[in-house]
Structure 1
Amino acid sequence: MPDPISPPLQLDRISCRFGRHEVLKDISVEVPAGQITCLLGESGCGKSTLLRLISGVERPTSGAIFMAGRQITGEGVFVEPEQRRIGFMFQDYALFPHLSVADNLTFGLRDLPGDLRRARVTDIAERIGIAHLLDRFPYALSGGEQQRVALARALAPQPAILLMDEPFSNLDQGLRERVRRETVDTLRKLGTTAILVTHDPQEALAVGDQIVLMKQGRIEQIGSSFDIYDRPNSAYCAEFMGPCNRLTGIWAGGEIETPIGRFAGNLDLPDGALALACIRPQAITIGQNGEGIVARILGKTFLGESEQIDVSVHPLAEPLRMHSHERIPMKIGEQVHLQLNGAQVHVFAEPVSRN
């Protein structure tokens, strides 16, 4: 019997190796009930492999997986995929082209009596807003409609957990944002526990109640959107979640000393050690009345909601990049003064490579 106190899904030191290639290394995660957990990372970091292990399509080399306290994978234990009550929404939707929408929704309900099966299809179609599409075939649906049908089909069997592998990547930008918002609203209304794979940090920040940032088969950081963005635990995390200006400096007296100022950090470093400051572009603003660091504008790019400005600051070899939501009247080549918001400066123990 499921344990109501245990999390819906728990991964305990999961590792997976294909031949000599270790794809996942010591992954431990708890997935909260009724929330959306985003697996985030670059292509090849192991996100999709982790989904396949959870669904039962692949088996881990070591470690254990538990659903509501019941072990489903591990030493001498393996519950077949069809017995796990896990729904899967594929990147390409994988709708059956020769079946109507209604029949696509019915496909996973074949073990239910006819009346209950029809009632389940009607109910989920109304909840997802596709009741008017039940008689159509996939070829007659738009991309957004196909996505909603795929979501309804995955939810129709009432899975304990829904797995979603890059579910919005095939949609155009404007449609992607709208369908994503509708999908998230539906999952929250239904109280669905979901795991969503994405390589897009902005999507993870917008969708995830919990974000699991992965790097080369390992977990780099786990936390809420605000934790991951505002309190990154590594330079890799800070830069993955959004652009940063990187400045190497000397650690002294609880601060990193850089050519453009000193910034506090919570590091266990001896004075004189190298440290790294990652400065968000929005941390830099144009100072008024000649106050701040002397700089010169090198370039300006209008982005609609904001303006991206590159500035040179002596003695830095690389320009600094800033984002402003206000129009900056200064022209390229003009001298300006910069001020920094220290809250958007993240300090780490040592410089790391960009690779």
Structure 2
Amino acid sequence: MFLNVSHLSVQYPGQPQAAVDGVSLGLRAGDIGVLIGPSGCGKTTLLRAVAGLERANSGSITLQGETVSDGQHHMPAEERRIGMVFQDYALFPHLDVGRNVAFGIHRLPRAERDHRVADVLKLVGLDGMQNRFPHELSGGQQQRVALARALAPNPRLLLLDEPFSNLDVDLRERLAHEVRAILKAAGATALFVTHDQLEAFAIGDVIGVMHEGHLHQWDDAYALYHRPATRFVAEFIGHGVFAPAQIRLVDNEVSVQTPLGALQDVDECPLPNAYEAGLCDVLLRADDIVHDDHAPVKAQIIRKAFRGSEFLYTLRLNSGETLMTHVPSHHNHAVGEWIGIRAEVDHVVTFARGAGATSAPAPGVVRHPVDLKGH
């Protein structure tokens, strides 16, 4: 691994709980990793520890096979050859774009320095803007200047701490795609911190979900969404709710009974003996619930959010359970209206009834009679 973090813990003096608690992750050369989680989960502290701005209490960090931190040894930040892009850009207002970008390479000969500045500005799409000042640029352009400045010294690792949080929502997602393309073109290895899932999905090759100092899962976006490692990941990623369910074995076939009826044609599911009496909570994503006027199950719309091409409806069943569903926006139903719904669940994710955030789902099995005989 290009970057390897092993059992890393960081605890601030006077704090009873570690800000980063036993975190391990690996990042391959040329990949972009993203740390995501609620405020105070430890993601920025982890980033700062990798940068050398925070000391590790235990565990280790290695970069290109070189140990930069292991609890006893702490390589200073300025020796790690790591570039950083901050939330506030940290551009020098009195320097033009060219001199901002050249700040970290001032020791290079003038001709070589000017050539490098021109190269990275072209890479970030700001070719020919060397003589402009930061106040003459848009927020997105300032962010790209900050990225160019971080790339100019050819760092072996680039760290980005919520770099788009000061930008409006539409620009943030678009710039995330642009920054990903820039980093890939530069062949950079990067670790990125955000609290925005759309940013994480747009930019990351691998994404880590953190909560209370722990890394719950380090995986690609598809796995986080469809195969969450803990209940916290299941709740944090995407839109969805947990509904009470019971897993049964009928004629050597697994059946998952839910408030919407039995789930049909599920490829993977735990066996009933995974839980006491088969009772569990099943994760129902918004895209697992389909609006169908002819469905026998009806639900009342209690909240709606317009998302352009679709509505996100929050629904309540007669039995009191709450569900969510994405519906094309031309189906403009009123709050309080009852609509027909049915479940189409391809990935069954279940947890023990009322389990805590750190609990893991029961392992699924392929639903096939030959696999179930003898259980």
- TM-score, normalised via structure 2 length: 0.85
Corresponding residue number in structure 1 for 2:208: 212
The residue matched to 1:45 in structure 2 has which SS? coil
Corresponding residue number in structure 2 for 1:13: 7
1:293: how far off?
2.1
Corresponding residue number in structure 2 for 1:132: 128
Distance 1:126 1:286 in 2: 48
Distance 2:333 2:74 in 1: 65
What is the alpha-carbon root mean square deviation over aligned residues?
A: 2.3
Q: 1:226 aligns with which of 201, 222, 225?
A: 222
Q: Does 1:327 align with 2:330?
A: yes
Corresponding residue number in structure 2 for 1:237: 233
Distance 2:174 2:275 in 1: 50
Change (3 A) 1:274 1:124: same
CA contact (8 A) 1:235 1:278 kept: no
Which range is displaced more, 250-259 or 46-55?
250-259
CA contact (8 A) 1:283 1:345 kept: no
Q: Does 1:143 align with 2:139?
A: yes
The residue matched to 1:21 in structure 2 has which SS? coil
Map 1:102-251 → 2, pairs under 5 A: 102-251=98-247
| CA deviation string 1:282-339 (max 9, x = no partner) | 2111335x34424445555543210233443232x23432211263376666554321
| CA deviation string 1:259-294 (max 9, x = no partner) | 322446236624415411111122111335x34424
Change (3 A) 1:29 1:300: closer
Corresponding residue number in structure 1 for 2:341: 338
- What runs of 5+ residues in structure 1 fail to find an aligned partner? 1-6
Change (3 A) 1:9 1:352: same
Q: 2:86 aligns with which of 86, 90, 101?
A: 90
- Give the letter for the 2:209 counterpart: L
Corresponding residue number in structure 2 for 1:278: 283
Change (3 A) 1:339 1:192: same
Which range is displaced more, 156-165 or 105-114?
105-114
Distance 1:84 1:169 in 2: 26
Corresponding residue number in structure 1 for 2:312: 308
CA contact (8 A) 2:311 2:326 kept: yes
Corresponding residue number in structure 1 for 2:23: 27
Change (3 A) 1:174 1:337: closer
Distance 2:157 2:135 in 1: 28
1:234: how far off?
2.2
Identity %: 37
CA contact (8 A) 1:12 1:29 kept: yes
Distance 1:73 1:302 in 2: 48
The residue matched to 1:87 in structure 2 has which SS? strand
The residue matched to 1:131 in structure 2 has which SS? coil
Change (3 A) 1:332 1:170: closer
Change (3 A) 1:299 1:156: closer
CA contact (8 A) 2:290 2:341 kept: yes
Change (3 A) 1:273 1:73: same
The total of aligned residue pairs comes to 347
- TM-score, normalised via structure 1 length: 0.90
The residue matched to 2:147 in structure 1 has which SS? helix
CA contact (8 A) 1:280 1:344 kept: no
1:249: how far off?
2.7
Change (3 A) 1:18 1:324: same
Distance 2:141 2:232 in 1: 37
Corresponding residue number in structure 1 for 2:39: 43
CA contact (8 A) 1:14 1:24 kept: yes
Corresponding residue number in structure 2 for 1:3: none
